[in-house]
Amino acid sequence: MRPARSSAATRHRPTRTCAGLTFSFMSEEVRSDERPGLGGEQRHPTKQALLDATIADMEATGEASIRVMKVLKDAGASNGSIFYHFGSREALIQEAIAERYLSAVSRGLDAFSSSIKEIETGDALIEFFRGELRRFGGSSFHELRVRRASALGASLLRPGLRERIIAGQSEYFDRASLPIKFLQAKGVIDPSIDARSFAAWFLGLLLSRILSDLDPVCEPDGAWSEFTLEAIRANLLPPTTEPFPAREIA
């Protein structure tokens, strides 16, 4: 007669799961919805810890100096965890780069979306964007711009990484277009404007500010911001003070 499996063997056996169901791996029983990653995918705590440790190492010393044993130690993970969760060191690094990039891009989007929906007039919209440009000009956002530029450069010769960034970026554009559509429905913004294209243009504009940051003569919070505000005014607002007619949200 075959002996029954021990409870320990059952706890160590990896099991499949659907969202909201429990699963176990390496004696860690968690819920599949405990730590979602970017894009909504559910991540095992060990996988997330490996990503966090890799990103921290990447920010401290750069991609080239990342060492597998240090990542494992910092993550509190066992030998073989990287292969189990990612398949290879390169796959881990690519996922960390994508995570770092998309986190930088998405930071502040929820607050931006919530605040912009309160706007009732074109003048208030311009003042809102003036404040946003001032906020984006801070030192912390300069670091985010550097991260994004670095990640984009790293993706040029890595098709898998490039596809991951493109997918996450596309999701960001979809989310960022929603408050613009909301103001179009209120009659504040020109209804003929493609909201998603504006979101892509504005994000690209903020990323390009890294060039102004590097110029010792340029004052990004001065002329650069004023040029940007005039471009926003020309694209989003009517040529007169009359608001656009309100319409129902599609």
Residue 24: strand pairing partners:
29
For residue 13, the model assigns a pLDDT of 36
Determine the residue type at 245. Answer: P
> What does the buried/exposed string (b/e) look like for 133-143 if buried means 16 or more CB atoms within 10 Å of the residue's CB?
beebbeeebbe
Q: Both tokens of residue 177?
A: 């277009």
Q: 28-31 and 22-25: which strand pairing?
A: antiparallel
Q: Both tokens of residue 250?
A: 């599609």
Instruction: Report the predicted TM-score, pTM, of the whole model to 2 decimal places.
Output: 0.66
**By the 8 A CB rule, do 92 and 80 touch?**
no
For residue 108, the model assigns a pLDDT of 72
DSSP for 11-24, written as a single string: HHS-----TT-EEE
**By the 8 A CB rule, do 94 and 164 touch?**
yes
Q: Supply the CATH classification number for the domain 27-87.
A: 1.10.10.60
For residue 205, the model assigns a pLDDT of 84
> What does the buried/exposed string (b/e) look like for 41-57 if buried means 16 or more CB atoms within 10 Å of the residue's CB?
ebbbbbbbbbbebbbeb
For residue 125, the model assigns a pLDDT of 93
Per-residue pLDDT reduced to its tens digit, 186-206: 999 999 999 999 999 988 888
Q: Report CA torsion sign: 149, 105, 98, 143.
A: positive
Residue-range domain boundaries for the chain: 27-87, 100-236
For residue 22, the model assigns a pLDDT of 30
Q: Both tokens of residue 57?
A: 């190492």
For residue 246, the model assigns a pLDDT of 59
Architecture of domain 100-236: Orthogonal Bundle (1.10)
What do you get for the CA distance between the two ends of the chain, in Å? Answer: 66
For residue 115, the model assigns a pLDDT of 87
Helices (H), 107-194: 109-116, 122-136, 139-155, 159-186
Q: Closest by alpha carbon to 36, among 90, 103, 82?
A: 103
Mean pLDDT per 10-residue interval, the chain, length 250 residues: 40 35 29 44 87 90 87 93 93 90 77 86 92 76 78 86 89 92 92 94 84 72 82 83 56
